[in-house]
Structure formats: C-alpha cells, structure tokens
Structure 1
C-alpha cells in the first residue's frame, strides 16, 4: 500500500475527497484509506511527523511513502507555485560538530537522507530538483537562513518543519521516501509572494491532487 503523508489537512483535502478515502483513525492520528492508498495528516513539526509515521509503519503494511505539500523557498531561482522534487534532505538545527559530525548530522546517523526520485521519473513535467532542510523553527528571515541553513555543506533551496523527520523515520524502517513540494513563498525576495498563504493553500491543494493523479 502507498502512503501519502503531509502536515496540513488543507493540502490534502481535495485528494482525500477525490480518491474516496475514509477516515479509519482520528483519536490521536488523522489517517484515511481506501483499498490501495493511505493518507496521513501528521500536523506540523518534527516530533509529530516522526511519531505518526513510525506509528503507521509499525501497524500497517506500507510499500511506498510519498510526502507532498507546501514549503517555503530560500532560493531566488524559485518562485511561488513552482513544483520541486526533493533530492537530499537535511536537518538545519542539528549541531554535533564538537564530536566531529557535520553540521546538520544527527550523531550516528547519515549526513543527509536521499529521496527516492525513481518513483517519480517520467511521471511529472515542469519541475525542479532541489535539496530541503527541516527544523522546528519557522524560518522566515535572511538572518535565520544565515544562522542555521547556510551552515549546511550543500545548497539548500527549500525549507519545512517535517521532511527530515519523515526521512529519518523511513530510513530506520527501511522504507523508500519520495518528496514533492509546491513553493508557497520565497524568503527575502521582494514581490515574490503574489498570493497570500491563506489563499495559496487552496490553490496548492488542487495542484497536489493533479500531481497525485499523475503519479499514483
């Protein structure tokens, strides 16, 4: 069974309706499924994301994991509404460099996680391939980018608060993870964000459905 996982209900509501998914758990986790697909709304943040994905992978038989949703950008080559397939996934607030680890590397874990782009090849058009960094900080200023993101030894173009947790959990459970993001805003670029987020999230939800129709 394929698992579609995201942080916000608004991002996946159109898809939940279209694929005729029914809620099967809602006491602690928002989980929906039909015969072939499972969707989970984890909420925002690394711990929420890791806990809920670990719960699903322990309880259900999942073959593939796809994280899809909106994310901010910190790359002036991107613009609002761009579709990005994630390549490498980093943690931008992990710092164990005093012990010889690279900035962003959790001790005794990989330096980064590699998204499984093979699941998406040939199925999408008009996308870019970029790296992402996650944290429990809502990064929305150039000062924060300089303080946290630029310490990573690679070009980071996308930021969120969940993806690294999905990736590390998938790694521990030996599951493949694909990641698709729609850029909601660009930090530090004047006039880059033409649509306010409250309106953009509705537009993005429809775009996410169109993407899922192509890849599922």
Structure 2
C-alpha cells in the first residue's frame, strides 16, 4: 500500500480525484482509501502533519509514502507551479542554540531529515514524463506562514533552503523515526514575500491539480 499525505483540503481533494480514493475511513482526520492506496488530509502545521503520519504508519503500515503540497519559494529562480523535490527538510523554527545545537537541529542531533532517495528518483522520473518543471532542493518547515521577504532571505542563507512551508520536515522526522520510506514534494505557489498570501490563493488550485497528476503517475513507476 502507498500512502499520500497533503495538508490543505484542496491538495487532498486533488489527490483523491486523481487516485480515485473514494472510500472514507474512520480516523482523527479525513482519510480515504483507493485500490492499494490511502489519501490523508493531515491539516496545516507540524503537529497536525506529524500526528497524521504517525497514525497512518502505525495503523496501516504502508510500504511507502509521499507528502505532497505547496510551498513558498526562497530561491528566486523557482517559478510558480515549479516542483521542488526535497532531498531534505529542516524545521527552521526549532532553536536549541543555547545548548550548543545548530539552528534547526533537533534534540535527536539531526538537523536535516531526508527524503528516501529511491522514492525521490521515482518522483523525478514521473515529473519528467509529465513535462513538469522540477528541481531538487532543501525545504524549510515552520509553524508560521512566511510573508516577509527579509526573513525569507535569512532562512535561505541560514539553512540553504529553496522553499518554505509548514509540514514537510515534521512528516519526514516521523518517517525517519519509523524507518519508513517517504518523499517530500512541493509545488511553488508564491515567493514567501509580502504578496505571498494572494499568490498562494491564486495558484493553489492549479498546483494541487498538478500534484494529483504527479501522484497518479507515481503509481505507474
């Protein structure tokens, strides 16, 4: 079984439609089943994402997982609707520096949580087959929607991050703890600046549709 996770209702609905996941399952969050797959709508934020991933891994033990959704670009070369394939993700709002930790480093001693390399290669192949612009990079995750360009640039310099969002590093941390293969993929909707909220709304629908097509293509690889 393959599990697909998304935070926003629009993202999850696009996955459900593309993957024909129509059977509703009982869970603390919206959860749907299709043939050999699950689609989970985690809700926004790190706690919501982590708890949903842990629930699905514990209850269903899927073979592999993909966390798909949208993000704001920190790298100015990224354009709206580009796909960012996250090689790793960091929680930018974790700060244990008074204890000698690096910015974003968790109490586990891990700062960057990785996507599974094999799954990421599959995502790359599916994106290429669909003709979707894509690149690999680093995602910064935090429990705040970033709408200040100066802070966005600070995060890019501090963590080497290419995009920012609110769930990915937490989901990958759970997968890391469970030793479960997961890949994180983000579609760019905005530039994490002053116009981010407006751009997010403008591109959310099309970005979600593309992620649904990507998810369907992944099942063929």
Matched, 1:159 2:164: yes
Number of aligned residue pairs: give it.
210
Quote the residue 2:9 is aligned against. Answer: 9
User: In the TM superposition, what is the alpha-carbon distance from 1:95 to its structure 2 partner?
Assistant: 1.2
**Superposition RMSD in Å:** 2.0
SS in 2 for 1:71: strand
The correspondence of residues 140-179 of structure 1 with structure 2, limited to 5 A, is 140-145=147-152, 150-152=157-159, 155-179=160-184
Matched, 1:182 2:187: yes
SS in 1 for 2:172: helix
Quote the residue 1:204 is aligned against. Answer: 207
User: In 2, distance between residues paired with 1:175 and 1:205?
Assistant: 25
Maintained 8 Å contact 1:91/1:133? yes
User: In 2, distance between residues paired with 1:79 and 1:117?
Assistant: 24
Gaps of 5+ in 2: none
Stretch moving more, 206-215 or 165-174: 206-215
Maintained 8 Å contact 2:138/2:163? yes
User: In 2, distance between residues paired with 1:189 and 1:50?
Assistant: 28
Quote the residue 2:81 is aligned against. Answer: 81
Maintained 8 Å contact 1:133/1:160? yes
Gaps of 5+ in 1: none
Give 1 or 2: higher helix fraction.
2
Quote the residue 2:145 is aligned against. Answer: 138
Maintained 8 Å contact 2:18/2:215? no
The correspondence of residues 9-48 of structure 1 with structure 2, limited to 5 A, is 9-21=9-21, 22-25=23-26, 28-48=28-48
User: In 2, distance between residues paired with 1:120 and 1:150?
Assistant: 24
SS in 1 for 2:47: helix
TM-score (norm 2): 0.87
User: In the TM superposition, what is the alpha-carbon distance from 1:209 to its structure 2 partner?
Assistant: 1.7
Q: Which aligned runs of 4 or more in structure 1 are off by greater than 4 angstroms? A: 146-149
User: In the TM superposition, what is the alpha-carbon distance from 1:145 to its structure 2 partner?
Assistant: 2.5
User: In 2, distance between residues paired with 1:89 and 1:127?
Assistant: 17
SS in 2 for 1:183: strand
User: In 1, distance between residues paired with 2:112 and 2:87?
Assistant: 10
